[in-house]
Structure 1
């Protein structure tokens, strides 16, 4: 048995439990939505889902730390569960089905498990260190996934959540120039860009501003599928404030074009 098999199974159990909360509240007429200090939205479903995950982890992994989007971190262990209860909250509150629960385990600074559960799309993606990346509805109904072999920018498909947000890091012109050179550009948004990349349907995904909870679960899936995930400064992993993910082949060229010093 691989070192993180039990943790991966637990991540699926957590996702099963959370889905019952998030799907029940999706498109609910009495969904309560508030603006946070950073002007992003949060719903009662976000908070209820994170509380559920934290409660189950407190029972099953009491020594582990937990970092979530909606509540203060707990614990000081080198094993950290990093949770985004609903990635794509703005989609969720508007009834758009592109949202997901992100669950990651970081062990001594290394993202070792990532699970993305998108019940409104009927899909999950997951990976554990050294075990490959997979997609399907459950552990018993899964297909291994791989990034593409596209080797030229002009043949690549690029996805960015928001084109205009690149002005905040003074990279709007560079990103638009790159997109124009690509074969196809789309804005699939949030987690979905990176999961499509891991499946080989997209070749480049990037965002100029992200939190740890947005990225931690994506990293093992992208890298175990054969891709690369870094900050705009080229540092591997989810610990920068932004992200560039590619099939690996295109990564150095993309960083040269849109990366930060």
Structure 2
């Protein structure tokens, strides 16, 4: 099994570079914000941070492909860096500190490295294949994390995205029934729900519509922490267009609960 220590160190360097851009623009009075064709928002900070990440990857990993949110993919080959400069742009532009830079390495068809950097929260989470999952301010100030041991839906804490998104997916009824069975339901949003699953603070997280760059960095962190990450149809990984992450113990039951009844 190949090691990814050098790539993980690079991911932290990339996160440092993105942070210098994003934190300088967070709550800036002259922040420029536009609506994209899908009506999602993009700011000048999103585009500048992605340009910085792409430039550094071109210098340090010129043979690797790059997939990002704001610009067309570049390069070919089995190794792909998947980046989202600001996951949670709507929070970013409103001054809410729950947003993060997502950095992943996909080798072949497997996400083998993920780093989530949330500088406004003062937190990072990261993992690579075989390393376990970690959180802290940086590599030298880190602690290992793991998912919870909750075995019953009735004892579980669940974090879901908006009712509007679930309604559009045609799964609102099963989602509401699942929420009603859980001990506690919240909507922490974006990357944060999945990082709390990895930390054991939340047991279930799910969203009905996501892109590869929204999910690729999350998968190694959740799975190395002992959890499972699949699409709503149970396919492992970030390629199904939606996501369910759990502590692993609850996963099959959650998938059944989220399946619309015919």
Aligned position for 1:131: 131
Contact 2:174–2:260 at 8 Å: present in 1 too? no
Q: What are the equivalent positions in structure 2 for 1:162-181 lying under 5 Å apart? A: 162-181=162-181
Map of 1:210 onto structure 2: 210
Q: 1-side partners of 2:259 and 2:174: how far apart?
A: 9
Structure 1: how far apart are the matches of 2:257 and 2:184? 17
Deviation at 1:162, TM superposition (A): 1.1
- Counterpart Cα distance in 2 of 1:231 and 1:31: 35
Q: Secondary structure at the match of 1:120?
A: coil
Distance 2:35 2:64 in 1: 30
Structure 2 residue matching 1:150: 3-state secondary structure? coil
SS at match of 1:133: strand
Corresponding residue SS for 1:244: strand
Is it true that 1:147 corresponds to 2:147 in the alignment?
A: yes
Q: 2: CA distance between counterparts of 1:163 and 1:7?
A: 38
Give the Cα separation in 1 of the matches to 2:118 and 2:183. Answer: 28
The aligned counterpart of 2:251 is 251
Tell me how far apart the structure 1 counterparts of residues 150 and 238 of structure 2 sit (CA, whole Å).
Answer: 24
SS in structure 1 opposite 2:22?
helix
Q: Secondary structure at the match of 2:173?
A: helix
Q: How many Å separate the matches in 1 of 2:91 and 2:77?
A: 33
Residues matched between the structures, number: 261
Structure 1, unmatched stretches of 5+, are none
Partner of 1:30: 30
Q: Deviations over 1:66-116 (max 9, x none)?
A: 000000000011100000000000000000000000000000111000000
Counterpart position of 1:51: 51
The runs of at least 4 aligned residues of structure 1 exceeding 3 Å deviation read none
Indicate the SS of the match to 2:210: coil
TM normalised by structure 2 equals 0.98
CA displacement at 1:164 relative to structure 2: 2.6
1:149 and 1:164 map into 2 onto residues whose CA distance is 31
Which whole-Å CA distance do the structure 1 matches of 2:112 and 2:190 have between them?
21
- Relative distance call for 1:5 and 1:254 in structure 2 (3 A) is same
State TM-score, norm by structure 1: 0.98
Aligned-residue CA RMSD (Å): 1.2
